[in-house]
Structure 1
Amino acid sequence: MQTNRTISLAIEESIKFLEFAPNFTKDHGEYTRRKWDGAWWRMAALYEMGEVSRIPKSAILRAKNLLKDQVWPIFIISADDHPISKSDKMKLDCCHCELAVFYMILMAYGCDLDKELPWIREWILKHQLPDGGLNCDSEAYTHSRKSSIVSTLPPLEAILFYTDREFTEQEASFLDEGARYLMEHRLVCSKQNEGVIDMNWLKPCFPRFFEYDILRGMFFLVEWSRRRNKPLPVALLREGLDRLNPLITAGGIRSGRQIFDPQGPWSGETFPLLEAVSSVDVVSPYLTRQLDYVIERMGT
């Protein structure tokens, strides 16, 4: 594992980058999102580490303005959803998981996006499919009607973790249906043949950004159970712990992979903080924090 000093220096490097890099403008909008060294991913890494308050306020304001002025606020499914004007055609398109990650970063910082950009929460709640999940592939809404677990988790987390009042009837249904979807898939399995959909999901990674793994799903179900006062799916969580057992040590849980793995589907440029906190086969304090919480809730 990287030393605390290495991580501290890497945090400072990302802070300076976010303070001075002019990449929240229209001309640099795509660079902002570039995997994995764009501004959003640096902000997301700090958020997942619990260091969201370290993000410069100037970067938060620029990020919020990008969502406000430079993102097309409609998920394009049909011909009627496409922008028409020249200025709208220049705007960035988003998907569910990407938008939900952006939303969580800014909400965790203290922004009131439900007041300033209410279309984001409306977008998330609008696109749940009948099976309980979401899918960033627009064709799922016109053909298969089947969700993607990867596309589903960030939107569920956004509503569950960043609603500081009673859930509306629509929000409660959204969360309960999402939990049903995860449980019916036993966190990682196909409903058709009951096999694991993607073996990589059995290897937690950090930071995740939008990527899914079994521990992320387990943590959501535990928090859903607590916040919605629903029965805890203990047997499913025990099954999840059994699947994670090869990575669990006396000191915590080891990271099993990197989202930016050069041999994987999403290889790309990195940045020092990402490298510092994503080492494989060493105990991750961030993943261990989630695992400990899951075990604690199972005990109560």
Structure 2
Amino acid sequence: MTITPTVSEAIEASVLFLETTTHFEPSHDEDSRHKWNGAWWHMAALHELGEVRRIPASAIAQAKRLLGTRVWPTFVIADSDGPSRTQDLDKWDCCHCELAVFYGVLQAYGCDLDAEMPWIRDWLLNHQLPDGGLNCDPDAYVHSRKSSIVSTLPPLEAILRHTDRPFTEREKAFLDAGARYLIEHRLVCFRSSGEVINADWLKPCFPRFFEYDILRGLSFLTEWAEKRGKLLPAKFAEQALERVQPALAGDSVRIGRQVWDADGEWGGETFALLDALAGVGKVSEPLSRQLNAMR
């Protein structure tokens, strides 16, 4: 993307932050997780901007160490899934979308987490529900057995975009079932009624971190269809783009919302790089490139 002087200066500020932060140290590891101004979020923002290689090698090493030593490598559904040893009790209890975003950032940088921490890929593949998606709410695995679109996308993206070899049969089944889930929900709709689940999902979001919008879902399905040799239903992409038409201006996409909006679902503190990016109502180069890659 075109890097303005303001954005360039903010990128440098994030690089300096990541070089000097204590967020990755054991006594501060919850700070690295803090939305939306912790260490992981500086890295995720750089990644989404196409600047993942600007992340300092020291921060990558510390992030890998944290994932390898401070995360409980099991999704806790029942009490028996949690840690029992005293030295493990303060480990992070991650969710699917969070873990998949962290994985994606490090893989995009060039790490080989499949060799170093194979439990992450296994985690994502192991928690697909019968409907084809995933859910970060442990209760869904006990009672409703229904997925969350927000929880589903990052794991699907992680497997689709960070597999540099032919997919295994298990991975093919995972991706195909996830794609079927999104298609059945028309990306944003209740399967039963066809009504839109959340109107905010029609507003393109950038940076996304692990938030969802219809363009994110459509981008995944377009890439899935190409890599898996599949066809989307007739007029599926066209109908999806019709839903987001108010945000489109020719080949450009205007940002419809941002995760740190004061009136939004999350809210929260920001940092210089987020503040320097195009705001709501402005054209986003990364989102526009994503749109045009689907056409």
- TM-score computed with the length of structure 2 as normaliser: 0.98
Residue by residue, what CA displacement relative to the aligned partner does 1:139-197 show, whole Å, maximum 9, x if unpaired?
A: 00000000000000000000000000010010000000000000000000001211000
Q: By how many angstroms is 1:278 displaced?
A: 4.5
Residue by residue, what CA displacement relative to the aligned partner does 1:15-71 show, whole Å, maximum 9, x if unpaired?
A: 000000111111111100101000000100000111100000000000000000000
User: Quick check: 2:23–2:31 contact (8 Å CA) kept in 1?
Assistant: yes
User: Quick check: 1:154–1:210 contact (8 Å CA) kept in 2?
Assistant: yes
Distance in 2, Cα, partners of 1:197 & 1:209: 20
Distance in 2, Cα, partners of 1:173 & 1:26: 38
Distance in 1, Cα, partners of 2:43 & 2:232: 32
Distance in 2, Cα, partners of 1:162 & 1:140: 27
Question: Cα RMSD between the aligned structures?
Answer: 1.1
Q: Does 1:194 align with 2:194?
A: yes
- In structure 2, what is the equivalent of residue 298 of structure 1? none
Q: By how many angstroms is 1:291 displaced?
A: 0.3
Q: Does 1:206 align with 2:206?
A: yes
Distance in 2, Cα, partners of 1:29 & 1:213: 29
Mean Cα deviation higher: 40-49 or 3-12: 3-12
- In structure 2, what is the equivalent of residue 287 of structure 1? 287
Residue by residue, what CA displacement relative to the aligned partner does 1:235-260 show, whole Å, maximum 9, x if unpaired?
A: 11101111111111135010001111
Matches within 5 A, 1:98-137: 98-137=98-137
Matches within 5 A, 1:68-83: 68-83=68-83
Runs of 4+ aligned residues of structure 1 deviating over 2 Å after TM superposition are none
- TM-score computed with the length of structure 1 as normaliser: 0.96
User: Quick check: 2:251–2:291 contact (8 Å CA) kept in 1?
Assistant: no
Residue by residue, what CA displacement relative to the aligned partner does 1:204-223 show, whole Å, maximum 9, x if unpaired?
A: 11000000000000000000
Distance in 2, Cα, partners of 1:3 & 1:71: 35
User: Quick check: 1:207–1:278 contact (8 Å CA) kept in 2?
Assistant: no
Corresponding residue pairs, total: 294
Matched letter for residue 24 of structure 2: F
> SS where residue 294 of structure 2 aligns?
helix
> SS where residue 274 of structure 1 aligns?
helix
Q: By how many angstroms is 1:233 displaced?
A: 3.5
Matched letter for residue 224 of structure 1: W
Distance in 1, Cα, partners of 2:176 & 2:268: 36
Distance in 1, Cα, partners of 2:118 & 2:45: 25
User: Quick check: 1:37–1:271 contact (8 Å CA) kept in 2?
Assistant: yes
- CA change 1:252–1:24 in 2 (3 A) is same
User: Quick check: 1:72–1:88 contact (8 Å CA) kept in 2?
Assistant: yes
- In structure 2, what is the equivalent of residue 277 of structure 1? 277
Distance in 2, Cα, partners of 1:275 & 1:128: 36
**Which stretches in structure 1 are left out of the alignment for 5+ residues?**
296-300
- In structure 2, what is the equivalent of residue 19 of structure 1? 19
Matches within 5 A, 1:136-151: 136-151=136-151
User: Quick check: 1:251–1:283 contact (8 Å CA) kept in 2?
Assistant: no
> SS where residue 239 of structure 1 aligns?
helix
Q: By how many angstroms is 1:3 displaced?
A: 7.1
Residue by residue, what CA displacement relative to the aligned partner does 1:99-155 show, whole Å, maximum 9, x if unpaired?
A: 000000000000000000000000000000000000000000000000000000000
- In structure 2, what is the equivalent of residue 238 of structure 1? 238
**Which stretches in structure 2 are left out of the alignment for 5+ residues?**
none
Matched letter for residue 124 of structure 2: I
Mean Cα deviation higher: 225-234 or 88-97: 225-234
- In structure 1, what is the equivalent of residue 6 of structure 2? 6
- CA change 1:254–1:229 in 2 (3 A) is same
> SS where residue 210 of structure 1 aligns?
coil
Matches within 5 A, 1:245-256: 245-250=245-250, 252-256=252-256
Distance in 1, Cα, partners of 2:154 & 2:250: 30
> SS where residue 92 of structure 1 aligns?
coil
Q: By how many angstroms is 1:234 displaced?
A: 4.5
